[in-house]
């Protein structure tokens, strides 16, 4: 406040000096410096306060544009059917049970893959994170596995495991293991040296050190890995189901493509989107539970 | 303190030398600390005070060195940062590694540092001063015979620091551990310690008893005299610092 006014008057001084002595400024000319520069009027830097329901505005706008486009006949229904047509198809698919049964098949595959992947990834990360010998044996192969895209391994896995459920779940598991391992291992190794020192001065046992310091400290890393893993399990699902399947959401979409049923494709995509967002939401809920020690009083 | 208690040693250091490569950090140090004695260790940065404290705490694994060290089994360290595990509640931090048996003493220790009722809070919910009090409680609950403190109040604001001085004085009077307080604050050293050491280039260049009974005020001429002596030892020109 003071700063603004003084800089203002400073500039006026300069002007005054340059003016001819005979010039008398009209009294009304004086700028109302205090009112103009009142801090209430100044815009804060930065993007400003959050808009309520800010995240929902974009998707809603897209749906509105889509609806308007269909209503005015601007969108060819073969390219993109109207929203109400999609809703109709959605109802039909539920009525004849196709959506539910495909959804169930897909979910079982994804969750099995996710479950196995979490257990295996976590186990490997703990072994490799807590012992140098374990790291020597495990870390290299995982890094190599990471360099090979899981999807590129499909042909090999088909030869080994056939085209049944085992192959599908294995592909998803292999995808999930990597982010779980990477982030958990990283977090285990990144334990703050200061806490190690503390544990030493407190003469903590190896067991207490692991249970109180190392493992809880790695939980944030694990949860980050889990968020990647959850998204990845649905992504892998799409691929395995579109290559060689006779059931599942991916199969339903693939079949619809063959018959040119755009509405069914879109219903499938919407279900994928909802699944992806919902599972991310579940992990974030878990994060809030497990990481409550991170929240400050303000939350 | 009774003379017979003085004769019992809490710490015995003989010919302690520590090196990092070619640089000698601690140079042939000898030191005895009596049981229950409060010793402050002053020194410029780089004088080796932290190295000395870490040697006493047994935290200097990768350092070359010779000499002998005798410290009590029951030893606690208070660091400059409170060093609380953010994912453990306040009471869990205090009783870390003690198991269920530590719970009741832990609660009492928290009460002693004025944090009764905050057992289940997370460290992040506490102020800097409160976190340092939890760290003190964590040390106390172990009933240490030697308390090592590495600039424990260095990160606190001036007012909080004064309150912490009172608290530490009170706690030491009650539990009577031997204390080695590393600090760069001359006034802190004078107002807390029975004895003040100055470390310079790895050697103890000053060993001074503080014989001011009762409350030590900055206005006391003896306080001022000790202060000038220490400051000049630390290489600060006293005349320039127009008697603050």
User: What part of A 206-245 touches B (C-beta under 8 Å)?
Assistant: 208, 212-213, 216-217, 219
Helices A154-161 and A165-189, packing angle to 10 deg = 120
Annotated domain spans of chain A:
102-285
Q: Does A287 touch chain B (CB under 8 A)?
A: no
Contact: B83, A198; criterion CB under 8 Å: yes
Contact: A294, B86; criterion CB under 8 Å: yes
Mutation target vs A (from B96, B142, B145, B155; most A CBs, 10 A cutoff): B96
Contact: B97, A204; criterion CB under 8 Å: yes
User: What single string gives the DSSP state of each residue in chain B?
Assistant: --HHHHTSEEEEEEEEEEEETTEEEEEEEEEEEETT-EEEEEE-TTSSHHHHHHHHHT--TT-EEEEEEE--SSEEEE-SS----TTS-HHHHHTTTT-GGGHHHHHHHHHHTT-TT-TT--GGGS-HHHHHHHHHHHHHTT--SEEEEESTTTTS-HHHHHHHHHHHHHHHHHH--EEEEEES-HHHHHHH-SEEEEEETTEEEEEEE----S---TT-HHHHHHHHHHHHHTT--GGGSTT-
Specify the CATH architecture of the domain A102-285: Orthogonal Bundle (1.10)
Residue among A201, A294, A296 whose CB faces B77 most closely = A201
Percent of chain B residues past pLDDT 90, beyond the cut: 54
Q: If pLDDT is split at 50, 70 and 90, which confidence band does B52 have? A: very high
Residues β-bridged to residue A46: none
**Mean predicted lDDT score pLDDT of chain A:** 85
Q: If pLDDT is split at 50, 70 and 90, which confidence band does A194 have? A: very high
Query: A-B interface: how many C-beta pairs under 8 angstroms?
Result: 56
pTM value is: 0.77
Mutation target vs B (from A197, A198, A217, A221; most B CBs, 10 A cutoff): A198
Q: What is the mean pLDDT of residues B210-223?
A: 79
Within 8 A of A201 by CB-CB distance, chain B residues are: 57-59, 75-77
For the cut 60, the answer to whether the pLDDT of residue B218 exceeds it is yes
For the cut 90, the answer to whether the pLDDT of residue B3 exceeds it is no
Contact: A201, B76; criterion CB under 8 Å: yes
Q: What is the mean pLDDT of residues B144-159?
A: 91
Within 8 A of A200 by CB-CB distance, chain B residues are: 58-59
Which residue reads 């060689």 in tokens? A244
State residue A55 phi and psi, 5-degree precision. Answer: -70, -25
Q: Does A203 touch chain B (CB under 8 A)?
A: yes
Q: What is the pLDDT of residue A1?
A: 37
- Sign of the C-alpha dihedral, residues A215, A220, A221, A226? positive
Contact: A293, B142; criterion CB under 8 Å: no
Q: Does B135 touch chain A (CB under 8 A)?
A: no
Distance from CA of A132 to the nearest CA of B (A): 19
Distance CA A261, CA A85 (A): 11
Contact: B86, A198; criterion CB under 8 Å: no
User: Quick check: B13 and B29 in contact, CB under 8 A?
Assistant: yes
Distance CA B207, CA B70 (A): 20
Within 8 A of B83 by CB-CB distance, chain A residues are: 194-195, 197-198
Q: What is the pLDDT of residues A7-42, one digit of tens each?
A: 444 444 444 445 555 555 555 566 555 555 555 667
Q: If pLDDT is split at 50, 70 and 90, which confidence band does A71 have? A: very high
Distance CA A184, CA A222 (A): 5
Which of A16-25, A113-122, B5-14, B23-32 has maximum average pLDDT? Answer: A113-122
Contact: A216, B76; criterion CB under 8 Å: no
Distance from CA of B84 to the nearest CA of A (A): 8
User: What single string gives the DSSP state of each residue in A219-232?
Assistant: HHHHHHHHHHHHHH
Residue among A203, A213, A292 whose CB faces B85 most closely = A213
For the cut 50, the answer to whether the pLDDT of residue B96 exceeds it is yes
Q: What is the mean pLDDT of residues B8-34?
A: 90
User: What single string gives the DSSP state of each residue in B190-232?
Assistant: HHH-SEEEEEETTEEEEEEE----S---TT-HHHHHHHHHHHH
Distance CA B25, CA B55 (A): 11
For the cut 80, the answer to whether the pLDDT of residue B244 exceeds it is no
């Amino acid at each position: 406040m003071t700063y603004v006014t003084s800089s203002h008057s400073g500039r006026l001084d300069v002007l005054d000096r340059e003016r001819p002595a005979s010039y008398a400024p009209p009294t009304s000319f004086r700028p109302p410096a205090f009112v103009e520069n009142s801090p209430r009027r100044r815009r804060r830097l930065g993007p400003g306060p959050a808009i309520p329901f800010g995240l929902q505005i974009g998707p809603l706008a897209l749906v509105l544009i889509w609806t308007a486009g269909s209503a005015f006949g601007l969108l060819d229904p073969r390219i993109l059917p109207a929203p109400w047509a999609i809703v109709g198809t959605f109802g039909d698919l539920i009525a004849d049970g196709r959506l539910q049964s495909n959804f169930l098949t897909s979910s079982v595959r994804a969750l099995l893959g996710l479950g196995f992947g979490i257990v295996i990834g976590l186990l490997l990360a703990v072994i490799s994170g807590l012992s140098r010998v374990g790291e020597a044996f495990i870390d290299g192969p995982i890094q190599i596995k990471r360099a090979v895209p899981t999807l590129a391994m499909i042909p090999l896995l088909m030869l080994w495991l056939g085209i049944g459920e085992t192959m599908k779940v294995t592909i998803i598991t292999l995808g999930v293991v990597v982010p779980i391992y990477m982030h958990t291992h990283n977090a285990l190794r990144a334990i703050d040296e200061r806490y190690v020192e503390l544990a030493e001065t407190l003469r903590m046992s190896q067991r207490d050190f692991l249970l109180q310091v190392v493992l809880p400290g790695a939980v944030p890393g694990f949860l980050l890995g889990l968020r990647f893993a959850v998204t990845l399990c649905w992504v892998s699902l799409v691929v395995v189901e579109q290559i060689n399947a006779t059931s599942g959401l991916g199969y339903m979409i693939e079949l619809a493509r063959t018959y040119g049923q755009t509405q069914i494709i879109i219903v499938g995509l919407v279900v994928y989107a909802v699944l992806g967002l919902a599972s991310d939401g579940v992990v974030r809920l878990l994060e809030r539970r497990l990481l409550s020690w991170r929240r400050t009083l303000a939350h | 303190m009774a003379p017979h208690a003085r004769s019992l040693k809490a710490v015995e250091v003989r010919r302690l030398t520590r090196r990092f490569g070619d640089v000698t950090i601690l140079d042939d140090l000898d030191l005895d600390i009596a049981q229950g004695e409060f010793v402050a260790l002053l020194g410029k940065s780089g004088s080796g005070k932290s190295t000395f404290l870490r040697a006493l705490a047994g935290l200097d694994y990768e350092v070359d060195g010779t000499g002998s060290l005798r410290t009590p089994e029951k030893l606690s360290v208070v660091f400059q940062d409170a060093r609380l595990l953010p994912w453990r509640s306040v009471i869990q931090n205090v009783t870390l590694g003690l198991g269920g048996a530590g719970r009741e003493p832990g609660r009492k220790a928290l009460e002693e540092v004025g944090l009764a009722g905050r057992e289940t809070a997370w460290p992040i919910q506490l102020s800097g001063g409160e976190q340092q009090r939890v760290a003190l409680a964590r040390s106390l609950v172990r009933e240490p015979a030697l308390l090592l403190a590495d600039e424990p109040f260095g990160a606190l604001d001036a007012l909080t620091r004064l309150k912490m001085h009172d608290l530490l004085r009170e706690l030491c009077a009650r539990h009577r551990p031997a204390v080695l307080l590393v600090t760069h604050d001359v006034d802190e050293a004078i107002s807390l310690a029975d004895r003040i050491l100055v470390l310079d280039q790895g050697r103890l260049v000053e060993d001074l008893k503080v014989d001011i009974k009762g409350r030590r005020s900055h206005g006391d001429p003896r306080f001022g005299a000790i202060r000038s002596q220490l400051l000049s030892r630390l290489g600060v020109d006293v005349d320039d610092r127009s008697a603050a």
